[in-house]
Amino acid sequence: MKTGPVLGIEGTAWNLSAALFDEDLIKLVSNPYKPIQGGIHPREAAQHHAAVVTSVIEEVLENNPRPVAIAFSQGPGLGPCLRIVGTAARALALSLNVPLIGVNHCVAHVEIGRFASGFDDPIVLYASGANTQVLGYLQGRYRIFGETLDIGIGNAIDKFARSKGLPHPGGPEVERIAQNGTYIPLPYTVKGMDLAFSGLVSAAKDSPESLEDVCYSFQETAFAMCTEVTERALSQTGKDELILVGGVGMNKRLQEMLRLMCGERGAAFSVPIPQYLGDNGAMIAYTGRVMMESGCTIPVEQSRINPSFRADQVNVTWRTEPDNKSTHAEENTARGAEAIVRFSNGSAAKIRTSKQYRHSELDRRLITERTRAEARLIVEARKAGVRTPIIRDISHDTIIMEHITGRKLKEKLNPLLLEEAGRMVGKLHSAQIVHGDLTTCNFMVKDRKIWLIDFGLATTSAELEHRGVDVHVLFQVLESTSPESDVLKEAFIRGYREIMPQANDILEREHEIELRGRYL
C-alpha cells in the first residue's frame, strides 16, 4: 500500500526534530536544547521546544510535498516536552485534515534501525540517555529481553562526567579521554538478562585513580555489561542479527565490542548512520508511515501523551511472525551466551570461554568468580532438595558435571510441569539461593521430572527484592513465549506456595516490580 510522505515530530527530551519521510528520507531538521550547565531541565527543554517547533516544521515542509499524515513521539519521555510535541501534532493534523499517528519512541529507534540495516528480525540493543534495553520481536510485540534496573547508560555516563567537571553531554568527552587510559577494576553488575549502573557510577566518581584510567575503565565495564546481556538475548532467541541504536550507539568502543561478539557467534551486526542513531524526527516519520500502512492511526481525542509508554505495550501490526530458526547445536556440543558445554560419556563439561570484547583482566576475573560461585551454589541447591547436575570436577574455568538429558521446559510448557517448577524454585528460595536467570531454557524435563541447570548468575540472598526479581524474570519469559501464560503462572504459584513460607510476600513484591516497568 502506497501512502505518501508522513511528517514526524520528535521531542521526548533534549532534541526537537521533524522530518518528512516517503519511500526514503526527504528532509530532516533538528534544533536541540543545550543546557548552560548540568543535565536536561525538563521545563527549560519544553520552553525551548515550544519556541522552535513551528520554525522547524516550516523548514521541513518548505518546497516539499504535503504530508498525508502527522506522526509524533507519544512517549516515553519527559512530560513537559511530550506535551509540546503532542499539541503541535494535533493542531497540524486538524489544520491539514490528515490522520494522526502516536509513535512509541523506543519502537521508532528499532524500526529506523531495521530500515537502515535491511535486517528482518534482529535483536536490538537500544542504548541512549534514559534507556538501556535489549529488544526483539516475538508474537506481535517488541519484547524487552533485558534492561537497566536503575538508570540508562547515557545518563550514567553523564552523571560521572558532571562529577568530573566535563561538559554535557558527557559521552564524547569520556570516549576521548578514555583513549589514554589503562584498566582498573570497577563494579560489574549483571543480573540475569538485566544490568545496573549506579554502583559503577558511584565507584567511578570516588576513584582516586587518574581521570584517563577511570574513563577507560568505566567504558570497558559498562559496555561489556551491555554486550553480555545482548549476547544472552541472541543465544536465548536463536536470532542471528543485531542492531545498535540510540545516541550512545555512536561510541566506537561499544560498536567494537558488539562487532567482536557477533563475529564470535556468526551473527550479522549493523549500526545506523549517525543521523538515525540519536533522537530524530526521521525515525518518528518512518515508523508513523509503516504504522499507517497497517491502519494504526488514532483519533485526536486518543492522542494523549504517555511518559511511561513501554515498547512492549505496542501492538506491532505491521510485522509478521518470522520463520522459526533452528537453534540445535552439534550433537556433542551446546553453546550458550558465556560458555560452551561439551557432552561425553554421560558428563557435561561447562567451559567458560574468554570474550574478545572484554578487557583481559576483567574477563579472567569474571570467569574465575562465576565458575567457583556456580559450582558452590549447585551443590547447595542440591542439598536443599533441588534436582541439579552432580558435579564431578572443577577448574578455574570449567565445571564437569552430570549430563542431564531431556527437553527444555520451553518446549514442553504445561501446568503440571510449571507447578513442579514452582515447588523447585520454592526449595531454592527457602535455602536463600537466587538463580539469577530463571528462564524456561534453564529447566530440563525428563520422565516428567524437572532439573534446574545453569547457575552461572546465581547468588545467595534472603531479600524479598532479589527473590521477587527471580520469579518476575520467569513470569515475563512465560508472557513473551506462551499464549497460555496466565494459566502457567497460576500453576507455578500453586507449587511455589506449597513450599515457600514467604511466598505471598515474594509474590506481592514481584507484582510491585512489574508495576515499576523496569524489568524484562
- Binding-site residue ranges for ATP: 350
Question: Which H or E run includes 174?
Answer: helix 171-178
Beta bridge partners of 72: 9, 102
Angle at 110 between CA 108 and CA 130, to 5 degrees: 75
- 268 by DSSP, 3-state: which? strand
The residue type found at 213 is D
Using H for helix, E for strand and C for coil, what is the string for 11-72?
Answer: CCCCEEEEEEECCCEEEEEEEECCCCCCCCCHHHHHHHHHHHHHHHHHHHHCCCCCCCEEEE
Q: Which residues are annotated as a binding site?
A: 105, 109, 126-130, 158, 171, 175, 251, 279, 350
Rounded Cα–Cα distance for residues 40 and 34 (Å): 8
- Report, in angstroms and rounded to the nearest whole number, the Rg of the chain calculated over CA atoms: 24
Measured CA to CA, the distance from residue 235 to residue 217 in angstroms comes to: 27
The answer to whether residue 437 is catalytic is yes
Contact between 404 and 446 under an 8 Å Cβ cutoff? The reply is: yes
In the set 22, 194, 312, 437, the catalytic residue is 437
The verdict on whether omega for the bond into residue 274 sits within 30 degrees of 0, i.e. cis, is no
Q: Are the C-beta atoms of residues 495 and 428 closer than 8 Å to each other?
A: no
Q: Tell the residue number behind the cell numbers 505518501, with chain if given.
A: 4
d(CA 212, CA 223): 17
**Per the structure block, which three cell numbers stand in for 44?**
527549560
Q: Which residues are annotated as a binding site for L-threonylcarbamoyladenylate?
A: 126-130, 158, 171, 175, 251
CB 106 within 8 A of CB 311: yes
Greatest pairwise CA separation for the chain in angstroms? 75
Of 338, 489, 487, 367, the residue nearest 425 (C-alpha): 489
104-113 per-residue burial string, b: 16 or more CB within 10 A, e: under 16 = bbbbbbbbbb
Q: For 463-476, what is the HEC assignment?
A: CHHHHHHHHHHHHH
How far, in whole angstroms, is CA 272 from its chain's centroid? 18
List residues forming the annotated binding site for Fe cation: 105, 109, 126, 279
Indicate left, alpha or beta for 37 from its phi (over 0: left) and psi (-120 to 50: alpha): beta
How far is 519 from 143, CA to CA, in rounded Å?
Answer: 11
Active site residues: 437
